[in-house]
Amino acid sequence: MAFTSLATAVCLLMVFNGCLASWWSLGVYNDLSERVVDSTPCESLTNILNSSQQTFCNYNRKIVNSIAIGTRRGIVACQQNFANWRWNCTTFTGENLFGAFVKNNTRETAVINALLTAGAERQIALDCRDEKLPNCTCQINGDNGVVNSTFFLYECSFDIAKAHDIMSKFLETPSNDDTAIIAEHNHNVGSNLVGQRYRKCRCTGFSGSCSVQTCYFASPDIDTIGQRVREKYGSSVEVTVNASNSALQPVVQTINNHDNELVYLKRSPTFCNQDTTYGILGTVGRQCSNNLSDPDSCDIICCGRGHITVTATQPKQCCSFIYCCRIECQDCGEETFTEYFCK
């Protein structure tokens, strides 16, 4: 991934240009080898963290480290899950990590807020369970204990509620502008996905008889959360913010339950044409699929401009297993393959 080189550039740019990015950029801070972030003093994050987050960092350096690692995992999950979409979660160097268009509070902004929050919160829960943070431990109360004669639950579980509590303190929203209200809603959507925990068990009875099981609660992995967020991208709800009570009101009034949906204020750009001011690369030259049922079908990705078909050949190798024990390969002609690219 073009990720590592980019990350260093972001910070240099921010340090020297003094531009203010958002906490999202924690996810690309340095090359995020875990120790580098950990040993970075909070003061050098002034271009990423706003004043309240700076204060948070001063008292919770280790937690900010977990947030950075989790945010990065969220970004990776975003790029993997959206690789075949017109908007593919591209990141840039500088102030606007995902491009300036996200300031319009579109569905993509919602995806980013939900997925990066989920990544961070999940990482906090993981680090709590592994006793890496001073503020929390593995969850040993609640659901734990003997459930019935054959079923025990005593291993460390994720304490999702505590992780949520910690992340909320980091994201604390004293301001009441539309952007903050929308962001908070989408943070919670991401957070709820982390909270959809499930029971993982293994057999510990005599000779694997499974008469006793050891279980704990785990959270969905970040890739699964990424898939859920991508599904929600499709069903996200356009809203307005009621100025008198800050309530989110769906524009289409027949939608009455948007509590667990991503919400957005403005329609997205098409992402078809390049617009570098807003961080939109356009789809000229994008590889696409000639299969109409694929999400990256040329029909969708190329925005009606059509595509070019490139047929190429590559040397083929034929390998066989020789008894015993090696594999032998030989060149055996060429194979052709076809690729499609947007005009």
Footprint of ligand NAG (CB under 6 A): 22-23, 50-53, 59-60, 79, 83, 88, 90, 101, 104, 134-135, 147-148, 150-151, 166, 169, 171-175, 180, 242, 244-245, 249, 266, 269, 278, 281-283, 286, 291, 293-294
Q: How far apart are the C-alpha atoms of 90 and 108, rounded to whole Å? A: 11
Rounded CA-CA distance 140/136 in Å is 11
* Contact by Cβ (8 Å): 217, 206: no
Cα(150)–Cα(305) distance, integer angstroms: 63
| Torsions phi, psi for 314 (to 5 deg) | -140, 150
Sheet holding 237-241, edge to edge: 248-250, 237-241, 263-264
Distance in Å, CB of 133 to ligand NAG, minimum: 8
User: Between residues 321 and 337, which has the closer beta carbon with respect to ligand NAG?
Assistant: 337
- CA–CA separation, 208 vs 107, rounded Å? 49
CB of 26 to ligand NAG, least distance (A): 11
Report the phi/psi class of residue 92: left, alpha or beta, with left for phi > 0 and alpha for psi in -120 to 50: beta
Give the span between the Cα atoms of 290 and 299, in whole angstroms: 8
Tokens of 122: 């999940």
CB 201 → ligand NAG: shortest distance, Å? 9
Strands 237-241 and 263-264: parallel
Nearest CB to ligand NAG, comparing residues 98 and 193: 98
Shortest spacing between CB 332 and ligand NAG, in angstroms: 25
Distance of closest approach, residue 242 Cβ to ligand NAG, in angstroms: 4
Q: Which is nearer to ligand NAG, 24 or 32 (CB)?
A: 24
Of 245 and 320, the one with the shorter C-beta distance to ligand NAG is: 245
Query: To the nearest whole angstrom, how small is the minimum distance from the Cβ of residue 169 to ligand NAG?
Result: 5
Phi, psi of 325, deg, nearest 5:
-155, 90
What is the distance between the alpha carbons of residues 12 and 291, in angstroms, rounded to a whole number? 43
Output the smallest distance, CB 328 to ligand NAG, in A. 32
